[in-house]
Amino acid sequence: MRSDVLDDLGAPVPLTAAPRRVVSLVPSLTEALAPTGTLVGATDYCTHPPDLDLRRVGGSKYPAVAAVLDLAPDLVVANSEENRPEDVAELRAAGTPVWVTEAPTTVPMALASARRLFTEALRVPVPDWLPTAERVWARVTPHRATAVTPVWRKPWVVLGRDTFAGDVLHRLGVHNAFADHPDRYPRPPLEDLNAAPTDLVVLPDEPYEFTPTDGPAFFPGKTPVLVVGRHLTWYGPSLVEARHHLDEAITRALRTT
């Protein structure tokens, strides 16, 4: 019997049973879904878990829809920010159920979305990492620094308003210098980034791979914090360890300011 559930955007997802063949178009959710044993396909950018051995279906922004359909999935998992609406529409038009997660603006929102994905779409128990992550990230550290956080170069793109990564930093006591910008991912010129009154520049290694020799030199006078991008932007099992590693990196940088 068909049973429609609603995804994060309120779209019906027709499921006749608990999905057993799932394709993930969202790298951080691939990491979360892998232990369920339901994954049959993922994007080229799904790098975790490291031993993931699945059919690859192209990039998140430009997946090969035909390759996804060839896998005969009974559910495709997508995201409103990472995946294009036209690809979601094409999959649905072909009769494939698609569960679209909303791009989270906070850590609690991301974890609540993951809970719904497990319980309402996959119909499996909530994994142990999820309540642990909820506990780990419930606390908000008092303000201790202000930072600019580039996520791309050529052109420069930084965290703006209402982003998951911005909330991660907020919970670590770091204010985002561009949190009040009208865009979620503004593209200020480099001189504006350097003019911002900040203590730190947070440089993740993805989506752009900032390194000790590609990033810090553009921000003279600001203390660089090089972090694992997955810890900053992925909302999956890595959240359990992310707080410790990010906090350690920020604390170490503040000691040098």
Do the domain assignments include residue 116? no
Residue with the larger pLDDT of the pair 2 and 196: 196
2 pLDDT higher than 70: no
Tell me: do 24 and 95 sit in the same domain: yes
User: What CATH number has the domain bearing residue 72?
Assistant: 3.40.50.1980
Domain finish residue from 56, 85, 104: 104
Tell me: do 170 and 240 sit in the same domain: yes
Domain finish residue from 64, 83, 104: 104
Tell me: do 58 and 169 sit in the same domain: no
Tell me: do 70 and 181 sit in the same domain: no
Segments forming the whole domain that contains residue 62: 3-104
Tell me: do 46 and 147 sit in the same domain: no
Do the domain assignments include residue 127? no
On the CB side of 35, CA atoms within 13 Å amount to 13
Judged by average pLDDT, the poorest of 1-5, 29-33, 151-155 is 1-5
pLDDT 10s digits, 190-248: 999 999 999 999 999 999 999 999 999 999 999 999 999 999 999 999 999 999 999 99
CA distances from 78 to 8, 87, 91, 130, 179 (A): 10, 10, 11, 19, 26
Helix axes 129-138, 239-255, angle to 10 degrees: 30
Q: What percent of the chain has pLDDT over 70?
A: 99
pLDDT 10s digits, 77-135: 999 999 999 999 999 999 999 999 999 999 999 999 999 999 999 999 999 999 999 99
Do the domain assignments include residue 126? no
Segment (H or E) for 225: strand 223-227
Say what the pLDDT of residue 16 is: 87
Do the domain assignments include residue 169? yes
pTM of the model: 0.93
Tell me: do 175 and 232 sit in the same domain: yes
DSSP state of 214: B
Q: What percent of the chain has pLDDT over 90?
A: 95
Q: Which amino acid is at 33?
A: L
Q: Which amino acid is at 124?
A: V
